[in-house]
C-alpha cells in the first residue's frame, strides 16, 4: 500500500477522505462522457483494425472499463504509480483489441495501442482533478462534440444509430449528476449544511433543463430535422477542409519526393497509394481488396520510429498530466485563508514579477526551498543531511502544523524540479509563490522550538 502513497509525505486523514469522496463526481463524469469518447474510438477500431467486437468496439463494455478505471484511480490521485498502472492497462487493452478482435495486422494493433493510450490520458486527467472546483466548460464542450458526432452519424451511416439515444441520455444525466455531486462535495468541505429544500431545488432545475433538451432533440432529430440539416451543411465543409489539406500535403510531398530522389532512397509509389486508399476509402472497405505492396526497409524503420514516438509522447503526457496536477493541487493550500489574503500581500507578489522574469522557474523553486530551510533552521528545526524532502516535510508538519499546506506545496514542487526535471510554468509559479509566502509568514510568527523538541528533531 505504501507504493500508492504520495512522494511528498503521508496523506492526512482529511486528504484521504476527500479523495474517496471525489470518486462519485469523477465516476459520474466518466460515465457521462464515455459515449462521447466511445464513438470515435469505435470508428478507429472498425476502420483501422477491422474489428467488430472487443472492449473498444462495444459500448457497454467500454463504458464499464472507462468508468471503473476512473473510479479506481481517483482514490490514488496523488500516487506516482497510478498513471503507470492505467497506462499499462491501456497498452494491454489496445494490443488485445488490435490483435485478438482485429484483423488489421501489426499496423492496426499499433494504431489501437495509440488510441487506447489517448483514452488513458483522459482517464488520468479525470482522476487527478479537484472535484470541488470542476471544469465548468466541460459540459458545453462535451455537448458540442456529441452534436457533431450526431450530425456525422446521420449522414455517413456509421452504424451508431441504435446506441445514440442511450449515449445522449447517459451524457446529460451523468453530467448533471456529477455536477450535483461536486456541489455537495464543496459544501461538505466548507462545512456548510444545506437544507433539504435547497438540495431538492437544484436537481429539479436540472431535470427540467434535461426534459427541455430531450424535447428539442426529439423535434430536431427526425427526418428532415435540424440535426440532419446541420449534418448536410457540416459534411460539405468537412469535405472542403479535407480537400484543402490533401492539396497542401500533395505540395509538401512533391518537395519530399524530390529530396528522396536526390538521396537515392527507393520508395514504392504503389504501396503509398494503397496506404492512402486504405485510410480514406473506408466506406467501400468491404468491396475493396487491399493488396500490400512491397515496402522498403527505410519506410518500415521510419514508420516504426514515428509510431513509437507517438506512443512515447502520449505516455509522457499521461505522467506529466499527473505531475502538473500535483504541483497545482488546490488541496496543498488552505483555500479559505489564501482566498482572503490581504491586498498588500497580493501587490507584493505582483511586484516580484520583474525579478521572476529574470530567473528560470526551476531556479526560483530551488531558491525558495533553500530560503525555507534557512528560516526553519533559525526556528531551531534544521534539516538532517540524511533526510529526504518528503521525510523532512513530516517533521515540519509535526512541529509547525499551521504551515503544513504551504510547505507541502513547496516541497512537491522542489521534488518535481530536482528529481523529475519537470517544467513549471509561470502561472503555477505565481500560485506557488502565494502558498510559499503564507508558509514562511506562519513559520516566522511561530515561536522557536523548545530545547527538548530541538534535540528530538536533530
What local confidence, expressed as pLDDT, does residue 438 receive? 86
The three cell numbers locating residue 220: 430536431
* Domain extents in the chain: 2-220, 329-457
pTM, two decimal places: 0.50
What local confidence, expressed as pLDDT, does residue 70 receive? 92
In DSSP notation, 116-166 reads HHHHHHHHHHHHTS-TTS--TTHHHHHHHHHHHHHHHHHHHT-S-GGGHHH
Report helix, strand or coil for 195: coil
Whole-Å CA distances, 325 to 67, 68, 275, 300: 20, 21, 40, 38
Whole-Å CA distances, 232 to 3, 91, 100, 147, 218: 53, 37, 37, 13, 18
Beta-carbon contacts of 83 under 8 Å, excluding residues fewer than 6 positions away, are 120, 124, 318, 319, 321, 322
Per-residue pLDDT of the chain (458 residues; tens, 9 = 90+): 444 444 444 456 666 787 888 888 889 889 989 988 998 888 888 877 777 788 888 888 999 999 999 999 988 877 888 888 998 999 999 888 888 888 877 777 888 888 888 899 889 888 888 787 666 567 778 877 887 777 776 665 667 777 888 888 888 888 888 888 887 776 655 444 444 444 445 555 655 665 665 566 555 555 555 555 555 666 677 677 777 877 777 777 676 666 666 666 565 666 655 655 655 554 444 343 334 444 444 455 555 556 566 666 666 666 565 554 544 444 444 443 444 444 444 444 444 444 444 577 888 888 899 899 988 888 888 888 878 888 888 888 888 888 888 888 888 888 888 766 566 777 778 888 888 888 888 888 887 777 655 455 44
To 5 degrees, how large is the angle CA 426–CA 424–CA 340? 55
Q: Which residues of 55-66 are buried (b: 16+ CB within 10 A; e: fewer)?
A: bbbbbeebbebb
Q: Are 349 and 433 in contact (CB under 8 A)?
A: yes
The three cell numbers locating residue 422: 519537470
What local confidence, expressed as pLDDT, does residue 139 receive? 73
Contacts 24+ apart (CB under 8 A), 331-334: 331/15, 331/18, 331/130, 331/405, 332/405, 332/406, 332/408, 332/409, 332/412, 332/435, 333/405, 333/406, 333/409, 333/431, 333/434, 333/435, 333/438, 334/405, 334/406, 334/438
Amino acid at each position: 500500500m505504501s507504493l500508492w502513497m504520495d512522494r511528498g509525505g503521508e496523506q492526512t486523514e482529511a486528504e484521504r477522505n476527500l479523495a474517496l469522496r471525489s470518486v462519485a463526481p469523477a465516476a459520474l463524469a466518466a460515465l457521462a462522457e464515455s459515449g462521447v469518447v466511445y464513438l470515435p474510438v469505435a470508428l478507429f477500431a472498425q476502420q483501422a483494425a477491422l474489428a467488430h467486437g472487443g472492449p473498444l468496439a462495444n459500448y457497454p463494455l467500454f463504458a464499464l472499463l472507462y468508468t471503473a478505471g476512473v473510479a479506481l484511480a481517483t482514490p490514488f490521485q496523488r500516487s506516482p504509480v497510478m498513471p503507470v498502472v492505467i497506462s499499462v492497462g491501456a497498452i494491454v487493452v489496445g494490443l488485445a483489441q488490435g490483435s485478438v478482435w482485429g484483423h488489421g495486422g501489426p499496423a492496426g494493433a499499433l494504431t489501437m495501442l495509440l488510441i487506447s493510450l489517448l483514452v488513458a490520458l483522459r482517464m488520468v486527467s479525470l482522476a487527478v482533478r479537484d472535484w470541488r472546483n470542476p471544469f465548468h466548460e466541460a459540459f458545453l464542450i462535451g455537448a458540442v462534440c456529441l452534436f457533431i458526432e450526431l450530425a456525422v452519424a446521420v449522414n455517413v451511416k456509421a452504424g451508431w444509430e441504435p446506441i445514440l439515444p442511450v449515449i445522449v441520455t447517459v451524457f446529460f444525466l451523468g453530467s448533471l449528476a456529477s455536477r450535483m455531486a461536486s456541489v455537495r462535495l464543496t459544501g461538505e468541505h466548507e462545512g456548510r449544511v444545506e437544507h433539504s429544500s435547497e438540495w431538492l431545488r437544484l436537481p429539479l432545475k436540472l431535470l427540467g433543463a434535461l426534459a427541455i433538451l430531450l424535447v428539442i432533440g426529439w423535434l430536431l432529430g427526425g427526418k428532415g430535422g435540424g440535426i440532419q440539416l446541420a449534418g448536410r451543411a457540416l459534411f460539405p465543409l468537412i469535405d472542403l477542409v479535407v480537400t484543402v489539406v490533401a492539396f497542401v500535403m500533395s505540395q509538401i510531398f512533391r518537395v519530399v519526393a524530390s529530396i528522396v530522389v536526390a538521396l537515392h532512397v527507393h520508395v514504392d509509389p504503389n504501396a503509398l497509394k494503397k496506404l492512402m486508399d486504405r485510410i480514406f476509402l473506408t466506406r467501400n472497405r468491404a468491396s475493396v481488396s487491399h493488396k500490400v505492396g512491397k515496402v522498403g526497409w527505410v519506410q518500415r524503420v521510419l514508420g516504426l520510429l514515428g509510431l513509437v514516438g507517438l506512443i512515447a509522447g502520449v505516455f509522457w503526457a499521461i505522467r506529466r498530466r499527473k505531475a502538473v496536477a500535483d504541483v497545482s493541487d488546490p488541496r496543498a493550500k488552505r483555500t479559505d485563508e489564501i482566498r482572503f489574503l490581504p491586498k498588500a500581500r497580493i501587490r507584493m507578489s505582483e511586484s516580484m514579477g520583474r525579478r521572476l522574469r529574470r530567473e528560470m522557474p526551476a531556479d526560483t523553486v530551488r531558491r525558495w526551498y533553500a530560503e525555507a530551510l534557512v528560516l526553519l533552521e533559525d526556528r531551531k528545526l534544521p534539516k538532517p543531511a540524511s533526510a529526504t524532502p518528503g521525510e523532512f516535510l513530516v517533521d515540519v508538519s509535526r512541529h509547525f502544523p499551521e504551515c503544513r499546506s504551504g510547505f507541502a506545496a513547496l516541497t512537491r514542487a522542489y521534488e518535481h524540479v530536482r528529481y523529475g526535471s519537470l517544467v513549471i510554468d509561470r502561472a503555477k509559479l505565481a500560485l506557488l509563490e502565494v502558498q510559499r509566502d503564507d508558509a514562511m509568514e506562519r513559520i516566522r510568527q511561530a515561536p522557536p522550538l523548545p530545547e527538548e523538541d530541538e534535540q528530538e528533531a536533530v
